Structure 1
Amino acid sequence: MARTGQSVCLLERGEEKWPGEYPTCLKEALKQVHFSGNVDRAFSSEWQVDSGNPNGMYHVIAGGGQSAVVGNGLGGTSLINANVFLEADPATLSMDVWPPEIRENPDCLKEYYQKVRDVLEPEPYPDTWPRLKKADLFQQQAEELGLNDEKHFYKVPQTTRFRSGPNSCGVHMSSSTLTGQDATGINDGSKTTTLVTYLADAWNWGAEMFCQCEVRYVRKLEADPGGYLVYFVWHKPGRNECEDQDLLWVHAKNAVFLGAGSIGTTEILLRSKNMGLSLSDDVGQGVTGNGDMLAFGYNTDREVNAIGKPGKDNSDPVGPTITSVIDMRRESRNPLSGFVIQDGAVPHALSRLLQPVLDHQTSSQDSKQPLHRHVTKAASRWQSRLLGPYVPSGAMERTQVFLVMSHDSSQGVVELENGQLTLEFQAGGGSQRVKTVRSMLTTAIEGIGGTPVYDPCHKSISNYEITVHPLGGARMSYDNTAAHGATNHFGEVFSGPRNSKTHSGLIVVDGAAVPTSLGVNPLATISALAERAVSEYARVNGLEISQEKNGILNLHGDPTRAHPRNVNTAALPNAIQSLPYKGFGLLRVLTETTRKIIGSQSGHNGISFGECMSGFIQSRSRLKSDDRSGFEDAFRCAKSQGNDAQLRVSVIADAISTEDSRTASRYRGVLTGTFNCPGVEGSPFMVSAGRFELFQPQDQVTGRMTITYDFDMTGIDGRQVHFHGYKALDSSVTFSPIQLWRSLTTLYVKITERQKQASNGTVNHDDDQDSDDELPQYPHQAAFEDSDGHDDHIVAAGILHIDLYNFKQGLMSLSSAGPSFLARAVKVVKYMSTFAYEPLPYLLLPLQSLQYSVLGTKKEFLNPTPPTETYNIVAKDGVKTILHMWEPEAGKVAINGHGAPRQVENVFMIPGASVDHQIYALPTIPINAVNYLTGAGYRVFVTVHRIGIVETAETGNWTTYDARLDILACFEYIRKVWSKKKLYTVAHCMGSVAFACGLLDGTIPSDWVLGVTCSQVFMNPVWSTSNVIKKLAPIALDTVYRRLAGRWFDCRDSPSSGIIQNAINQLLRFYPDQKKEKCRSAACHRTTFLFGRCWNHNNFNEGTHKHIDKFFNGANMTLMHLLMRMSGAVTGNAPGYEDLTTDENIERLRGIPFFLFSGEDNDVLSPAATEKTYATLCHKFGRSAGIDGGGIQYRRKVINGYGHLDCWMGRNAWRDVYPLVCAEIDRVVRYDSASRSLELDSE
């Protein structure tokens, strides 16, 4: 952009450091480390960490399952990468995850690869330079593996200089001293980084660069002068304490190019989204570690010389960090099977830290060696410990380093929690890929007498694997719409959650835009995509990029090609909000007015008091739900902008009688007052005749009471908006007086405004989003909306607090009406007693009486959903079960794009263990899954199999493997009575496991299945942390229970169940779990103990939670024992427990589309369960399910804020889950019907 004559400002988070200033020893390196992220803790929320130097070169981001190491500083990660320049192979670029512009023409990147090559000037290690021990040994190992041909083994092109002189941009470079220090920064001036190429060139052409400036978010200016505001923190000494509240900004008039690295750019976009920028919901999704693996051949029989040295060593040089590669990317038709192995080197700064880690990893393996080898290896280890890492016969000098890049499942997620970035990968994915790579490395390492060590941090530091190549997070969409990506094929960011429009000039030019793992070092491909994006921007905007060569640059002098700047800031102040206007004089007038209104109501018989709350409210909030985390995000954003707010109210409330057993007494009343927030247009606002309710039980969320403030208010400009605020009291206060104080003094605020309606009655939405006439229109869609009204537009959200002073002032203002002082005093005492007593059951929740089964009738249920027909099914072993069927209701079938009703198709659903059809046809929520699917035009069948709620459940020792026969019988019945078409199947939890057993062992013919949606698991059960702990009990819990109470554990219970069951009930009061998940329901406790917590309580309404005993029965110990034995793979029954996930069995799944989803907070099965299946299927068949030209047939989603069964039974599942499932069914059953075979199978 500088070469086009544009004014360019570059903001860099890190410091400016040049060769000679990079750390060489551990002490110096530690000063440059920044450590952040989340650390998992069992039975509690994650522990957020953020320590070290925020400007440090080395940023370690701790993530679930995998951590990332990235570089900060002028030049970014190129300062610490290994310099390898390898292009992505055409097969990878042709995968269906890429946009059609790239996948249909991978050669389109060739000219951009060449542009990058001309700048970075990569070349292989010269044959005429000194021979390197580690390179020679690596080549010998390739020969032993039969991979020494030019196709598989070659020297890598790298951006290390092997000659002195000016580079392509005119910066003088030195030749390499072969110290192997690339990973901490090379001080010899031989590393061709972006610092000495692109950035030096941009500086010479007039770009201005500012270091220690961390960009937080981008805001689009819709009005003049247009463009974008880029807000950033200046990490300068002395500003740390206030920097989060003191953001600086720069105005980008035309474009913002995001090149903060994959994770950094994604974080900026997520913060921008929280601050109101409309973006795709795909931002933060699809993150990949590029299949990175780090491996060591420890303490071999050969000198390797792979430890970096702080200075030049002519006699025994280490060499560049990487010199050669074993390239296995063309060995399979499936590009996801490809990988590369490269030799590596450890920088000097880490040499002393590495040996203890490797010793710890190999201690058990060394003890198994013959005595003489054990002694020899021990002596080598001690030599390194005592004499240092460079002693020729020492263990470290004989240690080999391998760097592997391959293909993982690209299922990582970047999110913001409590304002901090979190990175989540699921361990266990790509196990076949890992096995293949490790098998090859083990052969190579053991061939020279070494001990293989893989991902040393995986065992030594929690469960963390390491990636140095994170990609994705703002990935290109494979269909150039926001539904399947965050950016288009040029990296321009989409401007909404579903459309194909973009924010003009907001462009991602780093690894965040890459939609998949590359299976090779990503430097070349990221740079080529960036060149392509910049060229396209220049073309569209009529800019000409100068090709004039620089002369020799004097980096200590002035630029030679800088353009004169024409700065026009006259229009800018109109677009920037000035300091917030307090308006205290007017506020006092309004307050006095409201007091007069209250005084005129002298006839009231209740209590009156005043409150003053202050906090921060974010205008133009993107709040999507009433989840408290959304309010907290809005609060933090508003605080950083200085959008303070104040609410002053006077309340008159009367005690009201209530029949609700959850509260002894309630107060309801009217409030008046003022609300002042300069960030909300129309402020200050007057409040009159608002509604106040004290300790109102919430039917929408189980276990919660609220103090509610609800009112309309009018601004000084006549603007009318609605204010809804609540203070929430729930189980999070258990045994925590401090949290109780916070709950009683924190008001979550949402301000809405009625949407303007067009003449045809449709709502005019703010976001201009493309319509899609092909999408189905649901006649009952309006019923899905929240009770607050779907035509209300959120204009602001945030949090207000009462501080201690104003709390005391509120108490002092308490007064009441009455004929005498005693009568008035009694009312005040009664109110204060209510205020003090009502929170006690929450504070002492585990000590409260347990709630047992509740007698209920169908009339009590909100949404009874009886089946249209019920059929008795008999399996081939004689076991009787049930099949329910629901027909779409007349007039409630979705219409197609032509206005006609959609053709009715069949969908088969399988519930999990201990439940029945009610998880899909739940009567306690307004819209259940059956309602949703029948409304979409599907005939729904639901089986109630033998491990569900059937009469024989308690008498039969049935397992998931047995239940496959019931599923087979249902398939046979549907095919016989209804249609022989292939059947789309939706399966949950252990029902999905039973289905997997039947498909894998051939009991259920796979050619009867059109597609599958799997909820939480399919063929690879990976248990949650809490269930793993139960599994590791010294004595098997199922054995203990069987001996004490028999072979059936019932989730339903009563106080008269006997001594053993009552004892279990009392113990389960204190079952370890997060405080926010505590409750009094005995059925909930017992279900949690049996399976793990099956839901986030916040997702259940009171009706569902109250009737848990009606939706669960229990489980036999034979089933539980089988499940405890499953460790990542489904198995058959005792005594063989045969692993059913063999290659031969998995082959039966070829051609079947799969959609797998997991709840992010699942406490039964880890989300790794679906990730492992997804990775296995992709590795086996490719993302097309083995169908030539089949497109993407494997999809996976982790659903934020959900656990296990609440994905089906949650109060908002209609909004967050059902559309995902229905869209996938539509894709397979309807939209692909022209290309997929649906003809009848032969008899």
Structure 2
Amino acid sequence: MKRLSKPLSDLKKRYDFVVVGSGYGGSIAASRMARLGKSVCLLERGKEFLPGQFPSTLKDAAAEMSFHKGKKESKNNGLYEFTLGDGINVFKGCGLGGTSLINANVSIKPEPRVMEMPEWPNAIRQDLASFDEGLDRAWKMLRPNPYPENKNGYPVLKKTNAMRKSAKHMAEEFRLLDINVSFEDKLDNEVGIAQPKCTNCGDCVTGCNVGAKNTTAMNYLPDAFNHGAEIFTEVDVRYVEKTAHGWKVNFQPANTGREVFKAADMFVFADNVILSAGSLGSTEILFRSAKNGLSLSDRLGKRFTGNGDVLGFGYNNNEPINGIGLGKKATSEVADVGPCITSVIDMRKRANLEDGMTLEEGTAPGPIRGILPGMLAAASRLVGKDTDRGWGDRFRERIREITSFFRGPFYGAVNHTQIYLVMTHDDGNGEMTFDNDTLQVKWKGVGKQEIFNKVSGKLYSATEALGGTKIPNPTWNKAMDYDLVTVHPLGGCGMADSAETGVVDHKGQVFSGKTGTNLHDGLYVLDGAILPRPVGTNPLLTISALSERACKLIAEQHHAVLDYGFPARKEKDQAPETKPGVQFTETMKGYFSMNEQEDFGKGFDLGKKENSPFEFTLTIRSEDVASLVNVPTHQAGMFGSMTAPALSAAPMTALEGTFNLFIADQNSPDKKKMDYNATLVSQEGKTYYFQGFKDVDNNKGIDVWKDTTTLFITIQKENAKGPVIGKGKLIIEPADFAKQITTMKALNCDSKVEEIQALTSFGKFFAGNVFETYFKNRGKD
């Protein structure tokens, strides 16, 4: 499989639509707006992962884990993101594909009464056919289907049969779920992605290394790519601002080292912006936008819900479950573990909707299996409740427990453990606040709501059928004040009929004030943040349906009709292969003058006298270090920010940049150059062209430091052919050079060895050119 994302140096100045985030809402928005023929840019904070690149060991998984209490750092940008809240904690995914990369991909329609509840806008409640149409559109793209028991070589799973036994004991409805997983080999799916069939490895929620899971990276995102959308990863969007001609989206590139230089935000202009960064992400962006002057509803951050999520365990049952993922032990053969979730005990058909719940089984992914024997044994002692008694039973349980400790989690008590995920209806009164540039999740005492006592009872009954020990979520106890953990955060930008009761309208368009129904033209939120209440089951299909519905309405606003067909793909649609690359970030400072158009030195001196400074922080990024080293142009991409008060009072963004390293001077064989070229965009929308070069020349004396740290700059109007409007000179200060060294990193590598090889190749090329220029030819002076 090939990459969908582009290097940030390819970012353009302006797009018809900028989509922020790539989960279900964002990927659908990018696909549908691109199908309208609009220019679409998708910005995702996380990295792009291809099958085979997801963690398969505990060490690798730990490196991708990000813990924070609201304040995120761009350098800590892992796949698994855990936000510590007050009363409830949130676990979600961060990568191209959003949480779809690490969820169980269960597609289940909401109970019909859910969509009839008064929290929804009238336009939805009075036209549920449009919501159903959205469900159908999403269903066709995500391709859910049940686990094929006794078909195509797939065995009946022990964990599924255990659920059948639990459902019978509880006198509740059991069925196999529709899951977004491919159980047939596909050389080419509808959007041109090759997908092998599921191998039942059980590692769905640490990332599918097979490629069988139908995440948005397997359908909507490639569809957006095929229709011309430009996708950029590792971009942390900070806030949006209204301009005279649309919107300005302010962002920081992540994992570039720009933070060590305290570099200014970059930005891109858009006619329309669709925020799809998830319940926490979209809410945070709007909070920060409000701090920067955007008028919004006071309901921002309200009606947060964890969708009634409860995690539990039926530990050390009397029968094997085989619920432990294989991790590095996985093979291409069909195993007997199964996808993360395959079945449900559906208890939603209650007289009172709020009493309904869904109870699903799960698997523990292979990378974390090593910590399970100790963790589950300890939890069973502290908070567990055994469902059966007797000396014989207790003896057998201890033997199984000892077996897990000595033989590992594939044996004994851990292999006899059923994992449960329950979703129900909390009261939806959680809140997100924003202080000191930090989003806080607050919902003290949520775990004490009566519904969670009912959930606890159902978990006991399910475990009782199997003769195990019921273990609740380890944080759900008196000592921890019954804190909860949710994997389905919803709300914060809830839908409503007016700004008094919500943040967006029925199609996700943002209200433009604290009261009334006026809307911000071209600003939308499409993701779980817009759900005004819990749905009582896995919400991905509900989110997708609302997003599909909204995109159709947005198309109508643009007097266009969406075409949902799949046209033949052209060769140009194919994404490039991924190769090892390198990246570093540098800051240079100096002066330039708009009163000097010929001499760099004079421009510097005059600029200094005029107090006309010039400074940049640029990231040099090569997607292919072999090309950078071996192709004569030695070219890499370049992007960043530049500050020049003479041109604009605010920092400018450098786009579409190129960097050429040690290119030969045809007129002087002993001389080489480093070239910097970029388009400069000011916050006022003006465009300039930046040209810079370093002369690497064997002059008298050894001046390698001066040559490699002095940049001669030219500023032109609009483009490379425009008139010169100023010249000057920049230098790298020693302290900034020391910081620059810390930003050097390898890209697109699958191992430490590959990283070292990429950096070594670049280092040899750089050092070799320095030696050749300054030392090898000294005898020629």
Pick aligned residue for 2:465 from 427, 447, 453: 447
CA-to-aligned-CA distance 1:304-323 (integer Å, 9 cap, x gap): 01111120385851111111
- Counterpart of 1:54, as a letter, is N
In 2, are the aligned partners of 1:31 and 1:53 still within 8 Å (CA)?
no
Pick aligned residue for 1:475 from 444, 469, 494: 494
CA-to-aligned-CA distance 1:1044-1082 (integer Å, 9 cap, x gap): xxxxxxxxxxxxxxxxxxxxxxxxxxxxxxxxxxxxxxx
Aligned counterparts of 2:609 and 2:193: Cα–Cα separation in 1: 62
Pick aligned residue for 2:259 from 240, 245, 253: 240
SS at match of 1:453: strand
Quickly say closer, same or farther: Cα 1:284–1:642, change in 2 above 3 A. Answer: farther
Aligned counterparts of 2:278 and 2:463: Cα–Cα separation in 1: 34
Aligned counterparts of 1:190 and 1:482: Cα–Cα separation in 2: 42
Pick aligned residue for 1:384 from 386, 393, 404: 404
Pick aligned residue for 1:268 from 271, 281, 285: 285
Note if 1:325 corresponds to 2:344. yes
The number of aligned residues is 548
CA-to-aligned-CA distance 1:277-316 (integer Å, 9 cap, x gap): 1111111111100000001001111100111112038585
- After superposition, where does 1:570-969 map in structure 2 within 5 Å? none
- Counterpart of 1:330, as a letter, is K
Q: Which residue of 1 aligns with 2:678?
A: none
Q: Which residue of 1 aligns with 2:210?
A: 188
Q: Which residue of 1 aligns with 2:58?
A: 26
TM superposition shift of 1:137: 0.9
Aligned counterparts of 2:309 and 2:448: Cα–Cα separation in 1: 12
Pick aligned residue for 1:410 from 428, 436, 440: 428
Q: Which residue of 2 aligns with 1:456?
A: 474
Q: Which residue of 2 aligns with 1:335?
A: 353
Aligned counterparts of 1:268 and 1:359: Cα–Cα separation in 2: 42
Pick aligned residue for 1:135 from 160, 168, 173: 160
Aligned counterparts of 2:325 and 2:571: Cα–Cα separation in 1: 31
Quickly say closer, same or farther: Cα 1:522–1:30, change in 2 above 3 A. Answer: same
In 2, are the aligned partners of 1:486 and 1:494 still within 8 Å (CA)?
yes
In 2, are the aligned partners of 1:288 and 1:411 still within 8 Å (CA)?
yes
- Counterpart of 1:482, as a letter, is A
Note if 1:146 corresponds to 2:146. no
Aligned counterparts of 2:285 and 2:74: Cα–Cα separation in 1: 21
Pick aligned residue for 1:306 from 306, 310, 323: 323
SS at match of 2:397: helix
Q: Which residue of 2 aligns with 1:91?
A: 113
Pick aligned residue for 2:380 from 353, 362, 387: 362
In 2, are the aligned partners of 1:306 and 1:344 still within 8 Å (CA)?
yes
CA-to-aligned-CA distance 1:38-83 (integer Å, 9 cap, x gap): 6xxxxxxxxxx65796221111011111111111111111101111
TM superposition shift of 1:382: 2.0
Quickly say closer, same or farther: Cα 1:360–1:554, change in 2 above 3 A. Answer: farther
Aligned counterparts of 2:95 and 2:347: Cα–Cα separation in 1: 34
Q: Which residue of 2 aligns with 1:167?
A: 189
TM-score by length of 2: 0.67
TM superposition shift of 1:130: 1.0
Q: 5+ residue gaps in structure 1?
A: 39-48, 560-582, 588-639, 645-676, 680-1243
In 1, are the aligned partners of 2:424 and 2:537 still within 8 Å (CA)?
yes
In 2, are the aligned partners of 1:34 and 1:52 still within 8 Å (CA)?
no
In 1, are the aligned partners of 2:373 and 2:408 still within 8 Å (CA)?
no
SS at match of 1:34: strand
Aligned counterparts of 1:586 and 1:51: Cα–Cα separation in 2: 37
TM superposition shift of 1:457: 3.3
CA-to-aligned-CA distance 1:62-108 (integer Å, 9 cap, x gap): 11111111111111111011111111121010011000111233333
TM superposition shift of 1:236: 2.9
TM superposition shift of 1:418: 1.4
Q: Which residue of 1 aligns with 2:546?
A: 529
- Counterpart of 2:68, as a letter, is S
- Counterpart of 2:474, as a letter, is P
Quickly say closer, same or farther: Cα 1:462–1:443, change in 2 above 3 A. Answer: closer
TM superposition shift of 1:448: 1.7
In 2, are the aligned partners of 1:308 and 1:318 still within 8 Å (CA)?
yes
TM superposition shift of 1:362: 1.5
TM superposition shift of 1:544: 3.2
Q: Which residue of 2 aligns with 1:499?
A: 516
Quickly say closer, same or farther: Cα 1:524–1:24, change in 2 above 3 A. Answer: same
- Counterpart of 1:322, as a letter, is I
More strand per residue:
2
In 2, are the aligned partners of 1:33 and 1:53 still within 8 Å (CA)?
no
- Counterpart of 1:28, as a letter, is D
In 2, are the aligned partners of 1:161 and 1:175 still within 8 Å (CA)?
yes
TM superposition shift of 1:183: 0.6
Quickly say closer, same or farther: Cα 1:515–1:366, change in 2 above 3 A. Answer: closer
Note if 1:59 corresponds to 2:81. yes
Q: Which residue of 2 aligns with 1:926?
A: none
Pick aligned residue for 1:279 from 296, 319, 326: 296
Aligned counterparts of 1:242 and 1:413: Cα–Cα separation in 2: 34
TM superposition shift of 1:16: 0.9
Aligned counterparts of 1:82 and 1:411: Cα–Cα separation in 2: 26
TM superposition shift of 1:371: 4.3
TM-score by length of 1: 0.42
SS at match of 2:376: helix
Aligned counterparts of 1:176 and 1:307: Cα–Cα separation in 2: 16
Matched residues, percent identical?
37
TM superposition shift of 1:431: 3.0
Q: 5+ residue gaps in structure 2?
A: 1-32, 577-606, 612-640, 651-781
Note if 1:69 corresponds to 2:101. no
- Counterpart of 2:357, as a letter, is F
Aligned counterparts of 1:351 and 1:462: Cα–Cα separation in 2: 28
Q: Which residue of 2 aligns with 1:9?
A: 41
In 1, are the aligned partners of 2:201 and 2:339 still within 8 Å (CA)?
yes
- Counterpart of 2:458, as a letter, is M
SS at match of 2:440: strand
Pick aligned residue for 1:120 from 142, 151, 154: 142
Note if 1:155 corresponds to 2:176. yes
Aligned counterparts of 2:286 and 2:199: Cα–Cα separation in 1: 41
Note if 1:433 corresponds to 2:451. yes
Quickly say closer, same or farther: Cα 1:444–1:232, change in 2 above 3 A. Answer: same
TM superposition shift of 1:463: 5.6
Aligned counterparts of 2:161 and 2:370: Cα–Cα separation in 1: 25
Quickly say closer, same or farther: Cα 1:14–1:85, change in 2 above 3 A. Answer: same
- Counterpart of 2:248, as a letter, is L
Aligned counterparts of 1:51 and 1:395: Cα–Cα separation in 2: 39
In 2, are the aligned partners of 1:178 and 1:312 still within 8 Å (CA)?
no
Note if 1:79 corresponds to 2:79. no
Quickly say closer, same or farther: Cα 1:360–1:553, change in 2 above 3 A. Answer: farther
CA-to-aligned-CA distance 1:1216-1237 (integer Å, 9 cap, x gap): xxxxxxxxxxxxxxxxxxxxxx
In 2, are the aligned partners of 1:408 and 1:429 still within 8 Å (CA)?
no
Q: Which residue of 2 aligns with 1:231?
A: 250
TM superposition shift of 1:548: 3.6
TM superposition shift of 1:438: 1.9
Aligned counterparts of 1:465 and 1:554: Cα–Cα separation in 2: 49
Quickly say closer, same or farther: Cα 1:641–1:468, change in 2 above 3 A. Answer: farther
TM superposition shift of 1:429: 5.1
